Copies of this chain bind each other. A is one copy, B any other.
């Protein structure tokens, strides 16, 4: 069944009202007809299954059939902090990371980031990234749309660590020396509802200075197995491992 995210104000008296891109998608792309069903989620609030009662390209109305329980979110909230990578790698991280359950994405300018974004470019990028997150969230039946933050400086990243229950750094050198207990121990230390920040370097990795500064703020260095993962692959590992640990082993 097609799924759409809607605003709180679009769901009133058990009626859903949809306009804009989503109305176009329902009427013209999916060519849906009266009495067909869709799922609408007010992020973080409620999800309803509903029947289309009125369809035009400008305005869709749907009647709520039932309120659906939301159980699709990871028990812990994971924010992926990525040192700005080259090209469109962050798009891949956001799309697949959203499918795999990330709560948010925090791009930051790492010492070895080659890409530099001025404020104007950054805002345009964030709009695009947020759209990718929304589409992936719909596709993967998420209950929330992960937030994509404005690219931060490394100092801002350091300052944000205090707002999380734990912070880990995916560190290539840890992987090479066979560090294997950190991720397991971190997961075991977190309880439902905890907030975890995971920091990944850009292509060249984090600098030693950056790693030291993160450690001073309480971040723990973790290996992700013995194989060297690319900067865009490492977040998938952490998110899948978290799902395996919290949702399958539960």
The interface of chain A, by Cβ under 8 A from chain B, is 71-72, 96, 99-101, 139-142, 178, 180-181, 183-184, 223-230, 233, 236-241, 243-245, 247-250
Contact = CB atoms under 8 A, between A and B. Distances in A.
A82 to B, nearest CB: 16
A248 B225 CA distance: 7
A64 to B, nearest CB: 21
19 contacts: A71-B226, A96-B233, A99-B228, A99-B229, A99-B230, A100-B229, A140-B227, A140-B229, A140-B230, A141-B226, A141-B228, A180-B247, A180-B248, A181-B248, A227-B243, A236-B236, A237-B243, A241-B243, A241-B244
Given A101-B227, A142-B227, 18 more contacts: A72-B226, A72-B227, A96-B233, A99-B229, A99-B233, A140-B229, A140-B230, A180-B250, A224-B243, A225-B247, A225-B248, A226-B247, A236-B236, A237-B244, A239-B240, A240-B241, A241-B243, A244-B245
A227 B99 contact: yes
A100 B226 contact: no
Given A236-B240, A241-B241, A241-B244, A227 B180 contact: no
Main secondary structure of the interface of A (DSSP, over half): loop
Number of this chain's copies in the assembly equals 2
Contacts of A139: 228, 230
B228 A140 contact: yes
Contact of A237 (B141, B229, B240): B240
A164 to B, nearest CB: 21
Contact of A236 (B96, B184, B226, B249): B96
B184 A249 contact: yes
Nearest to A3: B228
Nearest to A181: B248
Contacts of A142: 227
Contact of A227 (B100, B225, B233): B100
Task: Report which residue of A72, A100, A248 has the largest number of chain B beta carbons within 10 angstroms of its beta carbon.
Answer: A248
A243 B66 CA distance: 40
A228 B39 CA distance: 14
Nearest to A178: B71
Nearest to A222: B248
A99 B227 CA distance: 7
Contacts of A244: 183-184, 225, 237, 240-241, 244-245
A229 B95 CA distance: 11
